[in-house]
């Protein structure tokens, strides 16, 4: 490959990187734009496990077809756009709530222009919503009602394919199966990146370098920050489980809110615990990160429905000095769980947890809640989950049961590990510039956003600012 040059290089083709490129084009950027990603084009992103059907097992693609490639991890998990600035991380603290909300509306319009479903979920009856909120308040929980535009896991692929085609037609160069091994810093200026791809290794020099590597790349970018003195600090890390119940249990919440977002601070530890990524009629899925780490997630399709609803329950941990490796901490939790599950996702019934026993495979076969991740291995997730996190999760589930009766039933399934790697909080100014000149960090890898919409907004705003500097 040798040494090459461009005007802007964007590392990562998830929502943040995509919308940064779209915004650069929209605002008249005339320079050459190169996007790189270790994954594949969106049309080629087919999970072998899913292609083999319900009995299929993960084959350990490297990189994982679900987490890497054009459109990133978010679109292939559930494809949901949260249309409120109250959801999706701390970007509103950086740019202002009104600016963030206005940008959400702009980005939503762009998604619609590429074929997103015009229907908005979560606009149910006011009386039913008020009843859910009353029960949440009584249980000591905060309900965040957020309108949702559901792309659908399968339809998101076609939408992002249209965006990919548009970028290529507009002159953006997309390099797939290409790994960024290093950001190049000379003095206090980022001058580009080092890459390894199908045509060998080399350097790509750039006036502007944008890192938008998502949750999958958060650990890598944390290492870059340490190596090059890029100002950053530890943020919270989310450790949790994915819960699966029958649709009948979640029927009211599904119909009224589609995705009910509940937040609590249960005793005795009072860590923040929240629901996340609810998938009515959805399917529990597996994602693989670097070094083969298997984590659980959820898919939600437009056409294909299961009899179950799944959602994540995440416990936030904020670490203080001297510890500053929250991502590594979460990875160790995941590795221990993987060890106990022989490399697979573990599942356990809530009733068995409360009884202090493991779950056996034969017990799952007798359950009303049939697992939608058939190769998950029955076991004891409490043997790997930190005590503080597990205690918080169980207390939170009992509170949710007051809002949604039957949620904490003995047959409710808990899958582990559910981990979110966006804890490295990069210090940036109002124009998203890092402490190193010429380097911008966006999306979940920056620590400022969580989820599909807010990462898209981050890229949208950053692209406009970068275009001004061109």
Report d(CA 235, CA 451) in Å as an integer: 16
121 found inside a domain: no
Report d(CA 189, CA 183) in Å as an integer: 10
pLDDT of residue 252: 93
381 shares a domain with 263? yes
Domain boundary among 381, 401, 420: 420
Report d(CA 277, CA 300) in Å as an integer: 9
404 found inside a domain: yes
246 shares a domain with 386? yes
Tens of pLDDT, residue by residue, the chain (470 residues): 678 999 999 999 999 999 999 999 999 999 999 999 999 999 998 877 666 655 566 777 878 877 889 998 866 666 889 999 999 999 999 999 999 999 999 999 999 999 999 999 988 788 999 999 999 999 999 999 899 999 887 788 899 999 999 999 999 999 999 999 999 999 999 999 999 999 899 999 999 999 999 988 888 998 999 999 999 987 778 999 999 999 999 999 999 999 889 999 999 999 999 999 999 999 999 988 877 899 999 988 878 899 999 999 999 988 877 877 888 899 999 999 999 999 999 999 999 999 999 999 999 988 999 999 999 999 999 999 999 999 999 999 999 999 999 999 999 999 999 998 765 789 999 899 999 999 999 999 898 998 899 999 999 999 999 999 87
User: Could you write out the DSSP letters of every residue in 371-438?
Assistant: -SSTTPEES-GGGTS-HHHHHHHHHHHHHHHHHSTTTT-TT-EEEEEEEE---EEE---TT-B-SSBT
- Structural domain for 156, as ranges: 2-116+152-233+424-469
CATH code of the domain containing 197:
3.50.50.60
Question: 120 is written with which tokens?
Answer: 């908005």
pLDDT of residue 420: 82
Give the strand pairing for 200-211 and 439-441.
Answer: parallel
206 shares a domain with 103? yes
Report d(CA 347, CA 371) in Å as an integer: 9
206 shares a domain with 295? no
432 shares a domain with 416? no
Question: 393 is written with which tokens?
Answer: 């999760």
Contacts of 280 (CB under 8 A, 6+ apart): 247, 250, 254, 258, 300, 309
Q: Which helix (H) or strand (E) holds 238?
A: strand 237-246
- Closest listed residue to residue 197, CA positions, set 180, 178, 182: 178
Runs of H (alpha helix) within 115-198? 126-138, 153-169
- Closest listed residue to residue 462, CA positions, set 2, 5, 29: 29
Give the strand pairing for 273-279 and 439-441.
Answer: unpaired
Question: 338 is written with which tokens?
Answer: 């993987």
391 shares a domain with 350? yes
Report d(CA 439, CA 436) in Å as an integer: 6
241 shares a domain with 140? yes
Q: Check: CB of residue 442 under 8 Å from CB of residue 22.
A: no
358 shares a domain with 229? no
pLDDT of residue 172: 98
pLDDT of residue 55: 53
- Closest listed residue to residue 442, CA positions, set 7, 6, 9, 4: 9
464 shares a domain with 428? yes
Q: Check: CB of residue 294 under 8 Å from CB of residue 332.
A: no
Looking at residue 44, the DSSP 8-state letter turns out to be: G
Domain boundary among 387, 402, 420: 420
Report d(CA 242, CA 5) in Å as an integer: 44
- β-partners of residue 294 are 288
334 found inside a domain: yes
156 shares a domain with 132? no
37 found inside a domain: yes
Q: Check: CB of residue 420 under 8 Å from CB of residue 300.
A: no
376 found inside a domain: yes
286 shares a domain with 227? no
Give the strand pairing for 173-175 and 33-36.
Answer: parallel
Whether the full predicted model's pTM is greater than 0.85, yes or no, is yes
205 found inside a domain: yes
317 found inside a domain: yes
pLDDT of residue 284: 96
pLDDT of residue 291: 79
Residue 303 burial by Cβ neighbours in a 10 Å radius (0-12, 13-18, 19+)? exposed
345 found inside a domain: yes
52 shares a domain with 107? yes
For residue 271, whether the previous peptide bond is cis, meaning omega lies within 30 degrees of 0, is no
Give the strand pairing for 179-186 and 189-197.
Answer: antiparallel
> In angstroms, what is the C-alpha Rg of the chain?
21
Task: Count how many Cα atoms sit within 13 Å of the Cα of residue 329 in the half-sphere of its side chain.
Answer: 20
Q: Check: CB of residue 308 under 8 Å from CB of residue 245.
A: yes
Handedness of CA 391, 395, 396, 400 (dihedral sign): positive
Number of domains comprising the chain: 2
């Amino acid at each position: 490959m040798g040494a090459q040059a461009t005007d802007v290089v964007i590392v990562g083709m998830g929502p943040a990187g995509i919308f940064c490129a779209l915004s650069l084009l929209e605002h008249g950027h005339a320079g050459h734009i190169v996007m790189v990603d270790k994954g594949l084009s969106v049309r080629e992103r087919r999970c072998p496990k899913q292609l083999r059907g319900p009995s299929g097992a993960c084959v350990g693609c490297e990189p994982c077809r679900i987490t890497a490639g054009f459109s990133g991890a978010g679109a292939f998990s559930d494809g949901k756009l949260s249309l409120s600035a109250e959801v999706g991380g701390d970007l509103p603290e950086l740019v202002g709530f009104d600016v963030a909300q206005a940008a959400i509306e702009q980005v939503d319009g762009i998604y619609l222009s590429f074929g997103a479903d015009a229907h908005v979920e979560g606009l149910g009856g006011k009386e039913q919503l008020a009843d859910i909120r009353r029960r949440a308040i009584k249980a000591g929980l905060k309900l965040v009602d957020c309108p949702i535009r559901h792309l659908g896991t399968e339809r998101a692929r076609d939408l992002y394919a249209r965006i990919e085609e548009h970028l290529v037609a507009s002159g953006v160069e997309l390099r797939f199966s290409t790994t960024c091994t290093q950001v190049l810093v000379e003095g206090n200026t980022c001058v580009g990146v080092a890459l390894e791809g199908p045509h060998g290794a080399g350097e790509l020099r750039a006036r502007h370098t944008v890192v938008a590597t998502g949750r999958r790349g958060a650990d890598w970018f944390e290492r870059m920050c340490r190596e090059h003195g890029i100002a950053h600090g530890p943020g919270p890390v989310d450790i949790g489980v994915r819960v699966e119940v029958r649709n009948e249990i979640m029927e009211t919440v599904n119909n009224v809110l589609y995705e009910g977002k509940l937040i609590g601070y249960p005793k005795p530890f009072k860590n923040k615990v929240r629901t996340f990524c609810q998938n009515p009629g959805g399917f529990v899925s597996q994602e693989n990160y670097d070094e083969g780490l298997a984590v659980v997630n959820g898919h939600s399709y437009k056409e294909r429905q299961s009899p179950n609803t799944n959602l994540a329950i995440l416990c936030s941990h904020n670490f203080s000095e001297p510890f500053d490796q929250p991502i590594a901490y979460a990875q160790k939790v995941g590795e221990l769980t993987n060890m106990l599950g022989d490399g697979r996702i573990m599942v356990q019934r809530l009733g068995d947890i409360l009884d202090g026993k493991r779950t056996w495979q034969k017990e799952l076969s007798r359950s009303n809640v049939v697992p939608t991740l058939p190769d998950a291995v029955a076991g004891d997730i409490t043997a790997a989950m930190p005590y503080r996190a597990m205690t918080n999760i169980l207390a939170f589930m009992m509170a949710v049961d007051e809002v949604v009766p039957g949620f904490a039933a003995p047959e409710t399934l808990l899958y582990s590990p559910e981990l979110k790697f966006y804890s490295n909080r990069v210090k940036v100014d109002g124009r998203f510039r890092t402490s190193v000149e010429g380097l911008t960090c966006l999306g979940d890898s920056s620590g400022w956003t969580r989820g599909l919409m807010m990462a898209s907004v981050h890229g949208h705003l950053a692209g406009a600012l970068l275009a001004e500097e061109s």
